[in-house]
Chains A and B, each alone.
Chain A
Amino acid sequence: MHCTMDDLLALRAGEASVWARRHVEDCAVCRAELDGLYQRVAQLKALPALRPPRDRWSVVRDAARVVRVRRRRTWSAWSLAAAAALAGVLLVPRFGSRGTLHAELSQAKEQSATLEDQLQRYDVDGRVLSGRTAARVAELEDRIAAIDGDLAGRSGVKAQAQDAELVKLWQQRVDLMRQLVNARAIRTRYVGL
């Protein structure tokens, strides 16, 4: 009876039974098999490294930008929420007469919140297939983050002109959010979710 492959692998790992250790000392056939096993493993280790046929760095880099922007946006969103709450307290009682502007502002904020909810449905962190799409998403998120920063800095506006600018900024934000939702929705359909 010769060693089985299990025995030979156990011998290689230094975990063989007493019988296998003694047998391989006496049996030239099994010694040759063990040598063959060592050689196969050595040859496997010596196989040449296979290199990726295409450069994927651009896709990974774009995704890294998205991650960075998202982290920044998360921070900005908290700031914005606080700023919006403060603006609500300061503005609404004082400028109740500017009903149209306030209605537009409320509408834009509601639309923005709805679009944020839609975005939550598209988890894209690990599914970036197209570098171009990832770059587009990153660009949109950058622009939204810039608007968020601007909005956060206007929490204490008082003049009507500034109020109108606030509405305009929120509407721009809604427009960018729509584009972002569309970009993500298209990508999600593309990967078949």
Chain B
Amino acid sequence: MAEGDGALTAGENARARLAETGVWPGKMTLAFLALLCGGALAGLVIEAADNWRTAFALFDAQTMRIAGFTLWQAALSTLLSVLPGLAVARALSRHPAFPGRGMLLRLFAVPLALPAIVAALGVLALYGRAGFLAEPLSLLTEGRWPGIYGLGGILIAHVFFNLPLAARLFLETLETVPADHWRLASQLGMNGRAQWRLIEWPVARSAMAGVSGLVFMLCVTSFVIVLTLGGGPAATTLEVAIYQALRFDFDPARAVGLTLLQLALTGALVFALARIGGRFFEAGTLSVVSRRFAAPGKGETIANTAVLAMAALFVLGPMAAIVAAGMQADLVRLAGESAVLKAAATSLMLALFAAALSAALSLSLVSARYRLAAARGRYGRALLLERLCDSGAALILVVPPIVIGAGWFVLVRHVGDVFAIAPLMVVCVNSAMAMPFVVRTIRPAHDAAASRHDRLAASLGISGLNRLRLIDWPVLKRPLLAGFAFAMALSLGDLGVIALFGSEQVQTLPYLLLARLGSYRTADAAGLALILGVMTLLLMTFAGRIGDRR
């Protein structure tokens, strides 16, 4: 029995001690996140206080129209992604084994790994005014095909990203139907319609709210797509308007008003999502196909084939266009250009730092959460600190990168050169942005290993650095490396904070790409998109491979 508290058993005491020693890195991470968001909010509040008339007089017709369009395009994107996504998922679940099914699933995983700016370029290269499909599409319109800038382009790009996501999430849900139910269906002789009505739809319906909410949220906070494909003030979302207020109109007060509105919107959405049990960042894992006994008939097979072929073409199109347009660019000249080389070096450097920081922050939170949970025992209630460690990584979903960037932008403006802190801002925000994914990669392995090793390590007196070197590192290196690669890919392709803070001095590849696109050097932009796309895909594939191998 230890000194002081006689009510604790020796075991509980040991657990409590263990918890105290390992929680401080988690506390520092929470402090970092609080500073990141707090600084941004402070910047916004100070600016609003200085200028409150301007900031709040902004709830005018124009702002309301922008907010309205933000919601409208998100609603349409959701509808166009979720319903076809469900059809695709059902077709895939009805045909658990056909040649090419695995490839189709991998194809649907690619958009999740592709930077938004690259996808936007692909959509332009395919459906744009001078795109590969411009000529056939001109047959549909009177005169020349006008291109897809505006709502059409935004919707196509959003569906390109979110249809495969919705399909994968629905497929996962459909695969939770126990194999016994399919056996029952086939023994009872249910036809396709009865199976849909009695088995599949009830299951899909339960996931409908969560999937729709997630897609809606992603489309409300979509920045790059709207920036590159919106094509004008008629199709602008709040995030793009914030960017324009800061970068083009130099109107911080207006940016504050817009930012606060965006913050209220995302806050409300996250709250609603949490209420309906939405899944924030559970991207799909390819699950094992359960054996299906109720085979679809001939007519249904033809319909399903058509659905899958159309979805595959739709997703494949922009990717093929990126490759084709990129190959047309003068890649050799591009690769030798000093601006490109410098941007690539900057991108890699920033991504490396962001990924390392993200991995360290995520590990500290995961480990602190586990220790706090272990210390409290199975029956105690989770304290605030533990809950913060549990959900702190998701903070970035409530406070989008552009909002954090805008807050710091208006804050730093008072004390010095905004563009000088660009690298710091990019590293910090991008590391926070990747945290939900990195936490998900390392947490299962960490918690499983900790529950196996904690007591043994304690009884042998292995602690501190020795423990990290001998016990934790061998188990965690794979998931950590996977999370690192994932965070790096995410940061490499990101065009959020850098759009606000970028300058001649600090350019990343996506920033350079946007600049070339803005100065109508489309071939250069396509070439850069191909290079960037290949880099992130390689990293994502590496992350997937290494994460799967246990």
Do they bind each other? no
